[in-house]
Structure 1
Amino acid sequence: MQFDTRMKVMGAKFFNDVVEGTKYDNTKVFVETPMNEQSGNAVGFAAAEYQWGTSENFQKIKSLPFPFEADCVLEMTTNGKQTKTILISVTPVARVAAPAVAPAAVKPQGQ
């Protein structure tokens, strides 16, 4: 099952080498993902990791200014027990601007 979504790409890395006789060639993309706030013990965002084909894909985005917004196509697959989401395509659309005003300092409780 494929679906389209806009994502904030925070970073990327690739690996293309042979380890103990096995060839590895992949790109991983890290995207901003909201934390699950339902339990009350997490807030904000983290970077989720997605597989995105071979190291050739890294070359397509390595010179872009990070972070950036991208229209992405993802695909959900399963082996019958586990579900995995992989990136099919990443199309940059805009650089993410830094906030104009720095947030106010947060005082520790009890002060």
Structure 2
Amino acid sequence: MKFVSDITILGAKQSKGEFDGRKFDSTKLFYQADLKTGENFVGQVGESITWGTSFNFERIKHMKFPVTLKGTFEMVSNGSQSTLILHDLVLPATESAKN
């Protein structure tokens, strides 16, 4: 199931290199999420989600954080566990023009 939603990004981190002969290349976003409502929960937390390769980090590293953007997400499942995938972010026209 794909959907579009706002995401408030608190920060980002790129990881690129090689470890034990295996290459890695990713961007991790840290975003604001609400805690579930309950007796033992209040407020918000920072969560993380992977967003493609380090190329994506280069697209947003100059932005002022926190920043709220529209994201295209997909919820997938293996039958016992659901996973949220971030496919892309809609960057402001002025930000896209820089790249």
TM range (shorter): 0.7 to 0.9
2:18 is matched with: 18
Q: Give 1:78 shift.
A: 2.2
Separation in 2, partners of 1:29, 1:77: 19
* Structure 1, 65-74 or 79-88: larger mean CA deviation: 79-88
Q: Give 1:12 shift.
A: 0.7
Separation in 1, partners of 2:80, 2:57: 30
2:68 is matched with: 69
TM-score normalised by L of structure 1: 0.77
Residues 35, 42 of structure 1: 8 Å contact kept: yes
Give, as a single letter, the amino acid of the residue that structure 2 aligns with 1:30.
Answer: F
Q: Give 1:48 shift.
A: 1.3
Task: Report percent identity of matched pairs.
Answer: 34
Residues 4-40 of structure 1, C-alpha deviation per residue, up to 9 Å, x if partnerless?
00111111111011110111111111111001122x1
Residues 4, 74 of structure 1: 8 Å contact kept: yes
Separation in 2, partners of 1:80, 1:20: 32
Extract unaligned runs of 5+ from structure 2: 93-99
* Structure 1, 21-30 or 74-83: larger mean CA deviation: 74-83
Separation in 2, partners of 1:77, 1:21: 30
Separation in 2, partners of 1:63, 1:9: 13
Separation in 1, partners of 2:22, 2:48: 22
Larger RCO (CA under 8 A, 6+ residues apart) = 2
TM-score normalised by L of structure 2: 0.86
* Structure 1, 5-14 or 84-93: larger mean CA deviation: 84-93
**Pair 1:4 & 2:4 matched:** yes
Q: By percentage of residues, which structure has more helix? A: 2
